[in-house]
């Protein structure tokens, strides 16, 4: 559960990212929230990160990934034309903080997504199984592709904000961009894992987001991409 100040700051960050494509600076957040000191923003940002609502790349300006909406739903970025007028305006100095911090109250339809079991974010575990359960996901979180869900087991992607027990939503597909987080099926092990994809010359690197784990290198014919990470759901 977020405090009112934490919720307000998170909504300001979401709005700024939707409008500009980048996270606001601490100075911009101070101005929009009507605060005089950046130390208060620092405390709120740390609290949001600890609670899994944002992820920060430290020592880099504006490096903030939004992970969840204030209501706990996994964050999916809106198109810049989608309902922007309903969000608080970080850059509008003429409006009051109370006006800026109004919340969207929109109900979204849900869709059933097959839950295919567990996947490793650590040492690879058993390959993806057939669907035996499904979960309901707000339709606005998904694009037009075909999706499936998996439960994360392991901690090798924690620095990307993906925790043990999270449910990830994967868009099916056998191709991915360099740097995407993918479901990779390893032919030689008959196993699947969730890692960041890097293509290097004639090889494929599957990178963890945890310094305790090593990057694994494979030949191009040893890895089959089964989908790309699009969102995650976390329960408390």
User: How many domains, in total, are found in the chain?
Assistant: 2
| Total residues belonging to the chain | 236
State the pLDDT at residue 188: 67
**Domain of residue 130, residue span:** 110-233
| Same-domain pairing of 155 and 219 | yes
Q: In terms of C-beta density within 10 A (0-12 exposed, 13-18 middle, 19 or more buried), how is residue 18 classed? A: middle
**Domain end among 100, 134, 161:** 100
Report DSSP state, residue 122. Answer: S
105 domain-assigned: no
**Domain end among 44, 77, 100:** 100
State the pLDDT at residue 108: 56
Write the CA distances from 86 to 82, 100, 101, integer angstroms: 9, 10, 10
| Same-domain pairing of 214 and 190 | yes
| Same-domain pairing of 51 and 150 | no
**Domain end among 77, 100, 123:** 100
| Same-domain pairing of 96 and 139 | no
Q: Which regions of the chain are under pLDDT 70?
A: 1, 57-62, 77-108, 122-132, 188-189, 236
Catalytic residues: 156, 195
- Residue whose structure tokens are 């998996």: 150
Whether 91 and 18 have beta carbons less than 8 Å apart is answered as no
CATH number at residue 55: 1.10.10.10
179 domain-assigned: yes
pLDDT digit string (tens) for 133-176?
A: 888 887 777 778 899 999 998 899 999 989 989 999 999 999 99
State the pLDDT at residue 62: 66
State the pLDDT at residue 139: 79
Question: CB under 8 Å to 39, separation ≥6 — which residues?
Answer: none
State the pLDDT at residue 98: 38
CATH number at residue 143: 2.10.109.10
Question: CB under 8 Å to 197, separation ≥6 — which residues?
Answer: 176, 177, 178, 179, 180, 181, 182, 184, 204, 205, 206, 207, 225
pTM of the model: 0.54
205 domain-assigned: yes
| Same-domain pairing of 57 and 148 | no
């Amino acid at each position: 559960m977020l405090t009112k100040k934490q919720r307000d700051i998170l909504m300001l960050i979401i709005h700024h990212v939707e409008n500009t494509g980048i996270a606001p600076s601490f100075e911009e957040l101070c101005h929009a929230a009507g605060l005089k000191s950046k130390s208060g923003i620092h405390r709120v940002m740390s609290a949001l990160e600890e609670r899994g609502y944002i992820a920060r790349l430290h020592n880099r300006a504006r490096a903030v990934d939004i992970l969840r909406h204030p209501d706990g739903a996994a964050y999916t970025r809106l198109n810049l034309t989608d309902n922007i007028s309903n969000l608080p305006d970080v850059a509008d100095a003429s409006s009051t903080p109370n006006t800026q911090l109004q919340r969207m109250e929109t109900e979204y339809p849900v869709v059933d997504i097959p839950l295919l079991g567990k996947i490793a974010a650590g040492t690879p575990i058993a390959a993806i199984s057939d669907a035996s359960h499904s979960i309901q996901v707000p339709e606005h979180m998904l694009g037009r592709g075909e999706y499936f869900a998996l439960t994360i087991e392991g901690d090798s992607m924690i620095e990307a904000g993906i925790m043990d027990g999270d449910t990830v939503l994967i868009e099916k597909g056998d191709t991915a961009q360099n740097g995407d987080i993918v479901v990779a099926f390893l032919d030689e092990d008959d196993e699947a894992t969730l890692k960041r994809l890097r293509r290097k010359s004639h090889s494929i690197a599957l990178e963890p987001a945890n310094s305790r784990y090593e990057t694994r290198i494979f030949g191009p014919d040893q890895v089959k991409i089964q989908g790309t990470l699009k969102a995650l759901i976390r329960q408390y």
